[in-house]
Structure 1
Amino acid sequence: MPTAQATTTTNITSTAIDQKTVPTTKDGLPTILNHWDCRSSQHPTPVIMIHGTFSRQLSQIDVTQMLHDRGYCVFGIDAGHNDNLYTLIKPEYYGTAHVDETTDQVNAFIEKVKRKTGAKKVDLIGHSQGGLIIRNRITRYGGKDVRIAMMLAGTHQGTTLMGASKIVEEAMPHLFPIIAAPL
């Protein structure tokens, strides 16, 4: 006999947050992140947000704000920055370093969150490349300290930059490696 599952419906009637109006720290992180003294009896497990490629924590402000407003202690860093053509044009964006390097940065941050909050486990929410970083972190460092791993549109098979790389690769196969290298 099948078991019944309880479901909860939440009415969310908010509009997208304008990133330009979000208060940030001198490092560009939303000020609602990384409150080391945050403790929640209702939601005791810290939540760590992990952004995607060509992104940063500010790009996830809608979900971050929703979690914060519901009493979660939310943490995050801008990870995976390196010097390439894209970051020379848009230096405020991250998620462009090698996946292993970004995973190491995220792992160090997870350890910092656990140490500063006293938590034994964390919840991880990753968008796009953030999902891949979560999987890589669990594979490389273990997952015993991860209570929930939520991957939103994780790029576990890589990315084609919304199809752009495939078009260039097919149209100019001999130039593709030269064009792709700076990106």
Structure 2
Amino acid sequence: MTAVLLVPAGHAAAQPEQLPVVYSVPAFVAAALNAKAPFDPPGGNDWSCVPTAEHPQPVVLVHGVLGNGAGWPAMSPLLHNNGYCVFSVTYGVYPWQSGALAGTGGLAPISHSSKELRDFVARVLAATGAEKVDLLAWSEGTLVAARYLLADGGAEVVDQVFNLAPIYAGTNVADPIVNAAYGLGIQDSVFAELRTTCQGCVDMLPVSDNIHELQAAGVYAPEVQYTNLLTRADTEVVPYTNGYREAPNATNIVLQDVCPVNLAGHNAISVDPTVAALMLNTFSPGTVAEIPCAPSPTPYI
């Protein structure tokens, strides 16, 4: 499905070139797999972009595990079309990876990736002259963003973050493997092997030091506004409520409470019209007058 969401009538500012907004899981997969460095998404990473008075804060996109900055076929052009300066980081790439994994992000330790996000945001601020940015983080990217905001100075330069499928308490999706490893007493060797290929994957497990440290730190930076978008159809953050956490500066949205027939899963929410509208209205209330609601073409994906 392809659509372009225009800025509503009444906004007098000159409109940017309108790009196709592709609401499609296959398009997301193709974008992530076929992209080459520097992994720029459509409408994003224009380092000459000047923020407008209407949207003074650039939006930085933070991908998930096995992704890269190019894998935003819907959110990046949509934000661009609505007048935002959009930038997309690629983090967590192991430099020795080759073949199909060359340029694949989200593999390195989250503690390392959060510093890459810190440096990228600093570059965005320097290029645009903005004082702060907003973040759109997804999956593992929500943990990278959370650590950046709490431990690497992000709270000073980030106004708000919209999280897709956050993983604050980790995911139990790998419990059969983890439980078997502990039962056999070989957990240390299993985790050591995983670290050479995807330490970021280990860092998403509830037993990881990363999750324990995040929980001990309180998850949220009090200066930042958080919006968490969860879906009951998530088969990768298990249970999906591991991304739910209440706080005075946090809003939690369950997709099916907004649109009961929409069963978009962990990946599909990044290319979903309902989610996209909720994101736009979070960054700039009133942008979308009516939130669209329809069944996802790729439920539980």
- Range class of TM-score, shorter chain: 0.7 to 0.9
Tell me how far apart the structure 2 counterparts of residues 133 and 91 of structure 1 sit (CA, whole Å): 21
1:57 partner letter: G
Q: Is the 8 A contact 2:138 2:164 kept in 1?
A: yes
Q: Does 2:193 correspond to 1:170?
A: no
With normalisation by structure 1, the TM-score equals 0.77
Q: Rate the CA distance shift 1:40–1:57 in 2: closer, same or farther, 3 A.
A: same
Q: Does 2:127 correspond to 1:116?
A: yes
Deviation of the 1:172 alpha carbon: 4.4
Q: Does 2:53 correspond to 1:44?
A: no
Aligned position for 2:111: 100
Deviation of the 1:28 alpha carbon: 2.9
Q: Is the 8 A contact 1:24 1:31 kept in 2?
A: no
Aligned position for 1:156: 168
In structure 2, runs of 5+ residues without a counterpart are 1-7, 9-20, 195-301
2:175 partner letter: K
Tell me the secondary structure at the aligned position of residue 114 of structure 1.
helix
1:146 partner letter: V
Higher relative contact order (CA 8 A, sep 6+): 1
Aligned position for 2:211: none
Tell me how far apart the structure 2 counterparts of residues 82 and 52 of structure 1 sit (CA, whole Å): 15
With normalisation by structure 2, the TM-score equals 0.49
In structure 1, runs of 5+ residues without a counterpart are 1-9
Tell me how far apart the structure 1 counterparts of residues 158 and 180 of structure 2 sit (CA, whole Å): 44
**Identity of paired residues, percent?**
24
* CA deviation string 1:13-39 (max 9, x = no partner): 963272437996642322522112212
Deviation of the 1:58 alpha carbon: 2.6
